[in-house]
């Protein structure tokens, strides 16, 4: 059954997906529109021939890295489309786009290309939301914050109760109380807000089973 993106947040602290054919725990999400699906995946580093194969994630083999090997480590990325959006799911600790959009030319957000990224940043917390609204710039916020741009995405975050009260307006005690009560549920709120903003839903069962196509993307 489809449940927006909320289920991704609900499993944000679930153990790794190594034993699964697909993905479930610790998934980072990148959504883009205004760009061709294959072009976006190639910009992330996907191999053109591999992309043409449309191999389901459950059939994709991640090669073991040999000691002393200099070739870049690769991670699997499951992908799909819904409406105007292409989405990419990664469970290796972060989102490739989040790690490379500042420095890798192909990943820099272009005008008329909107990108919303929720990255778990397992190796370098905190978890973040990054929004490139389509003007060539990108804004980011930690979980519990909005981007400060008074955008429709910010409004969705507030509606989903994914934004902490202002320290200036309510004081430190109220903010601490918010994080004590809402902190564990923030990932669900954030992914709910992003799903509502994008108008997208991804089938948990299909992702967990590895039925969606996937590619190997080199670590940036």
Contact call for residues 59 and 51 (beta carbons, < 8 A): no
Q: DSSP secondary structure string, 90-124?
A: E-SSS-HHHHHTTT-GGGSPPBT-EEEEEE--SSS
CA angle 198, 88, 110 (to 5 degrees): 70
Tokens of 92: 């290796």
**110, 105, 154: which is closest to 129 by C-alpha?**
154
Q: For the whole model, what pTM was predicted? A: 0.91
101-157 pLDDT, tens digit each: 999 999 999 999 999 999 999 988 999 999 999 999 999 999 999 999 999 999 999
Contact call for residues 210 and 14 (beta carbons, < 8 A): no
92 pLDDT higher than 60:
yes
189-216 pLDDT, tens digit each: 999 999 999 999 999 999 999 999 999 9
Mean of pLDDT over the chain: 89
Confidence of residue 95 (pLDDT cuts 50, 70, 90): very high
User: pLDDT value at position 70?
Assistant: 57
107-116 pLDDT, tens digit each: 999 999 999 9
Contact call for residues 206 and 212 (beta carbons, < 8 A): yes
More confident call, 116 vs 61: 116
C-alpha span between 189 and 159 (Å, rounded): 9
């Amino acid at each position: 059954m489809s449940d927006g993106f909320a289920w991704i947040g609900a499993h944000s602290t679930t153990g790794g997906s190594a034993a699964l054919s697909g993905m479930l725990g610790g998934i980072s999400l990148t959504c883009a529109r205004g760009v061709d699906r294959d072009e976006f995946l190639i910009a992330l580093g996907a191999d053109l021939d591999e992309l043409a194969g449309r191999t389901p994630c459950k059939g994709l083999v991640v090669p073991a890295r040999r000691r002393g090997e200099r070739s870049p480590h690769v991670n699997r990325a499951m992908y799909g489309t819904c409406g105007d959006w292409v989405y990419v799911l990664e469970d290796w600790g972060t989102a490739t786009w989040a790690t490379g959009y500042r420095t890798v030319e192909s990943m820099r957000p272009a005008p008329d290309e909107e990108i919303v990224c929720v990255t778990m940043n397992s190796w370098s917390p905190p978890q973040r939301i990054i929004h490139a609204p389509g003007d060539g710039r990108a804004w980011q916020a930690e979980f519990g914050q909005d981007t400060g741009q008074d955008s429709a995405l910010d409004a969705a975050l507030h509606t989903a109760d994914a934004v902490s009260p202002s320290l200036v307006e309510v004081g430190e005690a109220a903010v601490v109380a918010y994080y004590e009560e809402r902190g564990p549920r923030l990932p669900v709120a954030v992914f709910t807000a992003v799903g509502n903003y994008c108008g997208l839903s991804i089938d948990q069962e299909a992702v967990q089973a590895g039925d969606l196509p996937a590619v190997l993307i080199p670590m940036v």
